[in-house]
Structure 1
Amino acid sequence: MGAGRVEDTFNLVGHALKKVLRVVADQQERDLVEVAKEAKVELICESSLKAALDRDWDQQIQKDEALGMVLNVLQAVETWVQTLQQEDAQLAQRSLSVAQQIQAQDVEVNEQGKASLIKGMAKNRRISVEDPEMRHSRKSRSVRVDGYKRHVLHDLDTGLIRAVGITPANSPEASVTEAISADLAQQAASLEELHIDRAYLSSHLVRERGDDLEIYCKARPIPNGKRFHKQAFTLD
């Protein structure tokens, strides 16, 4: 899998903490395992923290125990970083901040001090250690999108792709059209017709369009249960 892979909470924290150890090991020209032993977090050296924990993830009790262990490892690394020389600590802090961010977005602690994973998905949740802009989104209840959305402006007359935009997966489609318009302006190109998905109807291209721009968009279906809908009738 790529460096920007999507991981769950356990492996996100483990990945970020391994980066903390790695940057210090490289700075001090030491082996990763040696540094992990010094920090008393040898568990981090495994390829997958979740696999190293070796729990039955279908059992909530074991899952909670594993979360407690991960948070203890995080605390141990935080304490260890405080013992480093200033330069090394500053280098380590960037990756440590990622682990702390994941804890803040994914973990809650009740009044009794028991930690658990937050149910549902935090707004704007970070899903990758290496790529901070990647996000979760959904096309439907059953189809999830991880990473980014690609937006393509295709010239129907020439077949050319005039502009391409990239946004985090959870960004509204309409948010990309300002950048698309800027690309068109660089080409001294203008729109006469715009064939779009309904998700772009709130974009500035539609809201601020002139009289010379025609918009084509598939209309929303009109649900009416078992009764006749308006489109079933014609006026005479």
Structure 2
Amino acid sequence: MRKLFHSEYLIMSSSRQWDCPVELSKKEKFICSKLKNSGKLFVFLREQRHRIFDAQMEQQLLTLYADHPIGKPPVPAALLAMASLLQCYEQKSDAAATLEAMFDVRWRMVLNCLSLDDEIAPFSQGTLCDFRHRLVRHNMDEVLLEHTVNIAREFGGFGHTQLRIALDSAPLQGAGRVEDTFNLVGHALELLVSCAAKIRMTTEEQIQLEAGTQLVGKSSIKAALDIDWSVAAEKQNAINTLLKDVLQLQQWLSTQAPLVSEHKELQACLTLLDTVLSQNIEPDPDGGSRIKQGVAEDRLISLHDGAMRHGKKSSSRTINGFKQHIAVDIDTKLILATCVRPANEPEHKAAEWLKPKVLKVGEVKELSIDRGYLAASWTVELFHLGHKVIAKPWTSTNKGKFSKKEFEIDLLNRRAVCPAGHSAGFSRATPTQIRFGKERCDKCALKPQCTDSKTGKTLTLHVNEEMLQGLRRFVETPEGRAQARERTKVEHALASICNRKKHRARYIGLRLNEYDLNRTAAITNLHISMAMAA
């Protein structure tokens, strides 16, 4: 007998609601009694599922299926949302989540499926995958995260308050294969040939034969080149050999009918190839072409996941993929917002993605950040509104000479005093420079410790120098250092997320990985709610 899925099981019913009892059955009470020491979240999800997926949330989830064919009711959307949370909690694949929902009594209890026969699955693997894409398309994962914040506030008895927010980020290695120049060009050519074959309704081998390519279609471009990669001259010849295939395909396309050469999908493949070539290849002064010196801005590193980028978390820690950012309420430790951005994007740009999500929850009166977020316009905006910004300002060693920190800078009266006691005025021009002058500096006994410039010491003030000066004074006080240490709450929250979902992306692309981050953050918030309810 074939196994049935719940979508087939529900075909007899026209209801799309997830009809769940609130009171625990005798069997559910027995299961919960066995989960006192481990698996407490299963108990909490069962006891509070009517709050987590209340009538309003369920109606919002049902809108995801507004386009679903009449007469074929889907699996209840709230059930699939709960299954997605369980999948995240136990870090299961779609296939494994389907099996857990069939055989794990904890899952079946939470999903209200204990009464179903063991051979009936509540949902299929495809249904769960389809739900995930619908959820992302309608940004309902963000709504769900916001809903878990409201649930925690209900348990904690919190009213509307001004928020004290902390931001932090962690690297996320991409799921796509990182490729070097040869493999990037080869992969782009293979995509072009595959697309042309599909449009022409023929085989890729036929396209390669007509175009006269030598390397495209081989199991390995580098193996087909068969050179000693430690010899620079052979490597140089190899790139020109590969570019001959590029030229052959371009010439072949020029002979094709517009129906083929101007096809939308083929043009997209050509654009991708042009991007790869422009980012990785440049003319060789000695003739031919060579691999570009240095790294092009916003360089593609994987065609499997075009959103991945090279980046750095620190001077010694590189990332091939993304950075994941979270905003945490310092007072409650709740995660209010998340975003996933390319690894090469500066942290301060991520703050602009987090800002509107945080403001949905409440007004921010305090922002605690590390130096990466200092350049964010949100940070400057809060400072000028009179709200508190807590961060260590940027520092410079100045090659062992006196840094700006050693100078007394009076922004109100527009004067600066150097360590030797000399003063100099400055204007309001931007960027503002303070010049102490050659004559004065040449006579100063501290010049060897201050500057090597023949024209005298010059200080350049940042456009937000007032904010930076205030931060410097604040973090040097006991109160400031104590408040800065509160950032450990966001660091712990991010560490908890990374421990659960690990440092490698589960999905391809920015948005799906943000969905994964949102549901992991929702699990963290539900744990906080569970602690409040205890």
> 1:92 Cα shift?
2.1
The residue aligned with 1:87 is 259
Q: CA deviation at 1:130?
A: 4.1
Equivalence map 1:118-197=2 (5 Å): 118-187=292-361, 189-197=362-370
Alpha-carbon distance change, 65 to 88 in structure 1, aligned in 2, over 3 angstroms: same
Q: Give 1:124 shift.
A: 2.0
CA contact (8 A) 1:153 1:161 kept: yes
Is this contact kept in 2: 1:135–1:146, CA < 8 A?
yes
**2:230 matches 1:58:** yes
Instruction: Report the Cα offset of residue 204 of structure 1.
Output: 1.7
Instruction: Decide whether the 8 Å contact of 2:366 with 2:389 is kept in 1.
Output: yes
Q: Partner amino acid for 1:203?
A: A
Higher mean alpha-carbon deviation, 27-36 vs 169-178, is at: 27-36
**Structure 1 CA distance for aligned equivalents of residues 228 and 356 of structure 2:** 52
Residue 207 of structure 1 corresponds to which residue in structure 2? 380
Report how far residue 126 of structure 1 moved: 2.2
Residues 30-85 of structure 1 show CA distances to partners (whole Å, capped at 9, x for unaligned) of 22223222222252112332232222222101100110111111111111111222
CA contact (8 A) 2:327 2:358 kept: no
Other-structure match for 2:39:
none
Q: Partners in 2 of 1:141 and 1:154 — Cα distance?
A: 26
Q: Distance in 1 between matches of 2:338 and 2:222?
A: 38
Q: Between Structure 1 and Structure 2, which shows a larger proportion of helix residues?
A: 2
Residues 168-222 of structure 1: CA distance to partner in whole angstroms, max 9, x if unpaired?
A: 22222111222211112333x1223322111101112221115553222245567
Structure 1 window deviating more from structure 2 (46-55 vs 12-21): it is 46-55
Equivalent position SS for 1:74: helix
Distance 1:132 1:99 in 2: 12
Partner of 2:220: 48
2:333, 2:388 → 1: CA distance?
19
The residue type equivalent to 2:236 in the other structure is D
Matched residue type, 1:198: R
What residue identity is the alignment partner of 1:83?
T
Map Cα deviations across residues 95-135 of structure 1 (whole Å, 9 max, x no partner): 12222222222212134423111221112222222444332
State, as a whole percentage, how many aligned pairs show the same letter: 33
Residues 207, 221 of structure 1: alpha-carbon distance in 2 compared, 3 angstrom cutoff: closer
Separation of aligned partners in 1, 2:315 and 2:241: 32
Q: Residues 127 and 70 of structure 1: is their aligned pair in 2 closer, same or farther, counting only changes over 3 Å?
A: same
CA RMSD of aligned residues (A): 2.7
128-137 or 15-24, larger mean C-alpha shift = 128-137
Between 128-137 and 68-77, report the one with greater CA deviation.
128-137
**Gap runs ≥5 in structure 1:** none
Aligned to 1:98: 272
| Alpha-carbon distance in structure 1 between the residues aligned to 2:244 and 2:377 | 49
> Aligned partners of 1:201, 1:21: CA distance in 2, in Å?
47
Q: For the residues of structure 2 that align with 1:3 and 1:95, how far apart are their CA atoms? A: 22
Indicate conservation of the 8 Å contact 2:215/2:242, yes or no.
Answer: no
Unaligned regions of 5+ residues in structure 2, if any?
1-173, 407-475, 477-534
Cα contact 1:125–1:135 (8 A) shared by 2: yes
1:142 Cα deviation after fit: 3.9
TM-score, normalised relative to structure 2: 0.39
Residue 30 of structure 1 is matched in structure 2 by 202
Preserved CA contact (<8 Å) 2:193 2:208? yes
Partner of 1:16: 188
Give the TM-score of the pair, scaled to structure 1: 0.84
For 1:181, give the aligned amino acid: K
Contact kept, 8 Å, 2:382 with 2:389, in 1: the verdict is: no
Distance (whole Å) between structure 2 residues aligned to residue 3 and residue 31 of structure 1: 29
Q: Which has the higher contact order (CA 8 A, sep 6+)?
A: 2
Larger Cα-atom Rg: 2
Whole-angstrom CA distance in 2 between matches of 1:43 and 1:3: 26
- Aligned AA (1:100): D
Of 108, 122, 125, the match for 2:282: 108
Q: Look up the SS of the partner of 1:208 in the other structure.
A: helix
Tell me how far apart the structure 2 counterparts of residues 121 and 217 of structure 1 sit (CA, whole Å).
31
Sort the Cα spacing of 1:9 and 1:209 in 2 relative to 1 into closer, same or farther, 3 A.
same
Paired letter, 1:150: Q
Count the aligned residue pairs.
228
Moved more, 20-29 or 85-94: 85-94
SS of the aligned residue for 1:209 comes to helix
User: Quick one: which amino acid aligns to residue 36 of structure 1?
Assistant: Q
Question: What is the distance in 1 between the residues matched to 2:177 and 2:257?
Answer: 32
Shift of 1:151: 1.2
